[in-house]
Amino acid sequence: MRAPAILFLLCSGLGAAAVDSCVTCHAALEEGGKGPATLIKGDVHTAHGLSCADCHGGDRTTDDPDASMNRAKGFLGKPARTAIPKFCARCHSSPDIMRQYAPRERVDQFELYQTSVHGKRLAAGDPNVATCIDCHSVHDIRPVKDSMSPVHPLHVPETCSRCHSDKQKMAPYGIPTNQFEEYRTSVHWEALAKRSDLSAPSCASCHGNHGAKPPEVESVSAVCGSCHVLFAQLYERSVHKAVFSAVGGGGGCIVCHSNHGIHQPSTAMLAGPKAVCAGCHDAGTDPAKTAVQMAGWLDGLDAALKRSETRLARAEEYGMEVSEAQVRLIDGREDLVKARLAMHSMVSGEMRQPVDAGMAVAAETLKAGDAALREKDVRRWGLAVSVILIAIAILAIRGLIRRIETNGGPTPLTASGEKTS
C-alpha cells in the first residue's frame, strides 16, 4: 500500500506542475465538465497543493486529452460509487502520505467506515448508503472545522437527513424517517442551534461519524453518559438497568427520554396522565407509589423555592437589602438539581438528603424575605410618624408666625400720618 501510494503521487507530478492541463482544459469545457474545475478553488485539497490528477490520476503536463487521460497510464476517471471510500482512503488511510500534510490527522476513517452500517452495506453492493462524498461533498470539500462544511455540527442533521428523511429512499429498509423531525424538537437541537452550544450532540455525536451505527442496547446509556456522566452512573446501578435491557427498543435512558425527540423533563414524566412510569407500573403498585412520592417531593421543593423567590423579589422592589438571601437561594436550586439527579437511582431514600437540604434553604430564605418585609413595614410606620410630626411642627410654626403678625407686627404707614391720599 505504502510504496505504490507514494509512487502514485510522484507519477502524478505532485507539487511539480506549474501548469495544470486538467484544470485549464476542464475550466474551458461546457457546463458538465466545467463544474469540478470551478468548484475546486475552495477545496481543502487545493489549499494543500493537491489537484485533479492527485485523485483521478492522469498526466497534468500535457494538453492532449488522450495522453492526459490515458487509463493505461494510470488515469482512474470517475470512480464507481462503490469504489469511492477506497478512492479516498488511498491517501486518508496512509500515515506516510498524510504525515507530510497534517501530522496529527487521523488515518482511520476508512477502517471505521467498514464497521458501520453504511460501510457494510456498500461492501455488499448497496449504492444507496452514505459514502465519503455524501457527507463531505466532492470538489468543494472543506476542512471539517469550517462552519460551511456539511459535517460541521450545525449542518450534520441536514446532511444525514438528505437520505434519512427521504421516505422513498429509505423505504426498502423499513426504518423510521422521522429522526430529524423529532431531533428538531429536542433540548439538544435547542442548545446547539439556538444557543450555539457546540457541546450538545448532533447526529454524529451519538452515532459516530465514520463508524455510524445505532448505539447497541447495552451502549445507549454509555452514549448519553459520555456527556451526562453522573446520570449514567446512577442509572447503571438502578433496578432498571437489568430489566430495560430485556425490554428491547434501545433500552437505557431512551426508554424514559426517547432518543431523537428528547424534551425538557418534568415531574409530568413521573406522575399524572403522561407519566412514563405508568407504562409499566400500574397505579397502586409500590413503584407507582414511589413515582408519585418522588414527584411530590420535587414539586414541593420547586414550589417552596419559588415562594421564597417571589417573597425576596417583593422585598427587593421595596428597596430592602436581601442579596444575601438571594445568593443562598442558589444553593436551594442546586439541591433541586441534585434531587432530580438522585431520582435516577430509583431509590426514593437517596432523594431525601438533597430534598431536605433544599427545603431548609427555602424555609430560611422565606424567613429572610418575611423579615425584610416586616422591616419595611416598620420603616413605613416610622416614616409616616415622622411625616405627621413634621406636618404638626410646620402647622405650629405657621400659627406662631401669624400670631406675631397680628400682635407685635410693624405699624401701618397710614397710622403715622405721613402720607395722605
Residues in 294-353 at the binding interface with ligand HEC, rule: CB under 6 A: 294, 298, 337, 340, 343-344, 346
Nearer CB in complex with ligand HEC: 124/415: 124
- Name the minimum Å distance from CB 245 to ligand HEC: 11
Task: Name the helix (H) or strand (E) containing 189.
Answer: helix 187-189
Nearer CB in complex with ligand HEC: 158/321: 158
Nearer CB in complex with ligand HEC: 55/372: 55
* Under rule CB under 6 A, residue 368 binds ligand HEC: no
Say how far apart CA 309 and CA 368 lie, in whole Å. Answer: 11
Report how far Cα 144 is from the mean position of its chain's Cα atoms. Answer: 18
Nearer CB in complex with ligand HEC: 234/360: 234
- Name the minimum Å distance from CB 249 to ligand HEC: 6
Which residues are within 8 A (CB) of 291 and not within 5 positions of it... i.e. 6 or more apart?
270, 271, 275, 277, 278, 281
97-156 residues in contact with ligand HEC (CB under 6 A) are 97, 101-102, 105-106, 109-110, 113, 117-118, 121, 128-136, 138-139, 141, 143-144, 151, 153, 156
Nearer CB in complex with ligand HEC: 85/358: 85
Look up residue 292 and give its amino acid: V
Report how far Cα 400 is from the mean position of its chain's Cα atoms. Answer: 76
Q: Comparing C-alpha atoms, which of 280, 279, 276 is closest to residue 295?
A: 276
Nearer CB in complex with ligand HEC: 34/403: 34
Tell me how many residues contact ligand HEC (CB under 6 A): 148
Nearer CB in complex with ligand HEC: 223/315: 223
Residue position matching grid coordinates 400659627: 399
- Name the minimum Å distance from CB 352 to ligand HEC: 14
249-288 residues in contact with ligand HEC (CB under 6 A) are 250, 252-257, 259-260, 262, 264-267, 269-270, 276-277, 279-281, 286-287
Say how far apart CA 116 and CA 133 lie, in whole Å. Answer: 16
Terminal C-alpha separation, the chain: 132
- Name the minimum Å distance from CB 161 to ligand HEC: 6
* Under rule CB under 6 A, residue 63 binds ligand HEC: yes
Helix (H, G, I), strand (E, B) or coil at 227: coil
Nearer CB in complex with ligand HEC: 162/307: 162
Say how far apart CA 18 and CA 373 lie, in whole Å. Answer: 82
Residue of 15, 77, 382, 409 interacting with ligand HEC (CB under 6 A): 77
For residues 281 and 291, the answer to whether their CB atoms sit within 8 Å is yes
- Name the minimum Å distance from CB 158 to ligand HEC: 8
* Under rule CB under 6 A, residue 45 binds ligand HEC: yes
Cell matching residue 119: 460501510
Residue of 291, 312, 320, 325 interacting with ligand HEC (CB under 6 A): 291
Which residues are within 8 A (CB) of 322 and not within 5 positions of it... i.e. 6 or more apart?
312, 315, 316, 368, 369, 372
- Name the minimum Å distance from CB 172 to ligand HEC: 8
* Burial of residue 304, with CB atoms counted within 10 A of its CB: 0-12 exposed, 13-18 middle, 19 or more buried: buried
Nearer CB in complex with ligand HEC: 141/355: 141
* Under rule CB under 6 A, residue 6 binds ligand HEC: no
For residues 84 and 133, the answer to whether their CB atoms sit within 8 Å is yes
* Under rule CB under 6 A, residue 171 binds ligand HEC: no
Sequential DSSP letters for 309-378: HHHHHHHHHTT---HHHHHHHHHHHHHHHHHHHHHTT--THHHHHHHHHHHHHHHHHHHHHHHHHHHHHH
The contact pattern for ligand HEC, residues 196-235, with x = CB under 6 A and - = no contact, is -x-xxx-xxxxx-xx-xxxx-x--xx-xxxxxx--xx--x
- Name the minimum Å distance from CB 66 to ligand HEC: 9
Nearer CB in complex with ligand HEC: 110/318: 110
- Name the minimum Å distance from CB 312 to ligand HEC: 22
14-33 residues in contact with ligand HEC (CB under 6 A) are 21-23, 25-26, 29, 32-33
Say how far apart CA 219 and CA 14 lie, in whole Å. Answer: 45
